[in-house]
Amino acid sequence: MRRTVAPSHAALSHVDGRGRVKMVDVGDKSVTNREAVARGEITMSAAAVKTIRQGAVAKGDPLQTARLAGIMAAKQTSALIPLCHPLPLTHVRVELTPTPRGYTIESRVRTSAQTGVEMEALVAVSVAALTIYDMVKAVDKTMVIGDICLVEKRGGRSGVYRRSDRS
């Protein structure tokens, strides 16, 4: 039987020394330009891909709707994720790139603030994918949303992060 050891509470920024959840105080951090890029994918049946690419989805254009939903979701991240700080976003872009079995979704989010925008970028990708699912589920309920990850981030104390191919 494999045992895992829980991390010490001191190592978790959103947990105090007694194990209680807390919001991180970013008041002493410097305001810096910050950017995050996240990526994910949605795979689907050939019929669903064909329906989208022919513009035949009964509910409308799922790609434009997903793009808008992702942008709107990034702006609402602090309302969705309990310990996220509300941030003044200066830019949100959501791109959908066709693949043979669906779409790759990538978001890029920027701010000038005291904390990063990684969660906003991840939420944008997630909600864009869910929006496609919602609009196309009548054609294919077996769609799979996955591989949502942070690709890179810039700014703040920790500097630059780029996901490696091995990650």
Query: What are the DSSP calls for the chain, one per residue?
Result: ----PPPPGGG-TTB-TTS-B-----TTSPPEEEEEEEEEEEE--HHHHHHHHTT--TT--HHHHHHHHHHHHHHTHHHHSTTPPP--EEEEEEEEEEETTEEEEEEEEEEEESS--HHHHHHHHHHHHHHHHHHHTTT-TT-EEEEEEEEEEE-STT--EE--TT-
Q: Report the catalytic residues.
A: 134
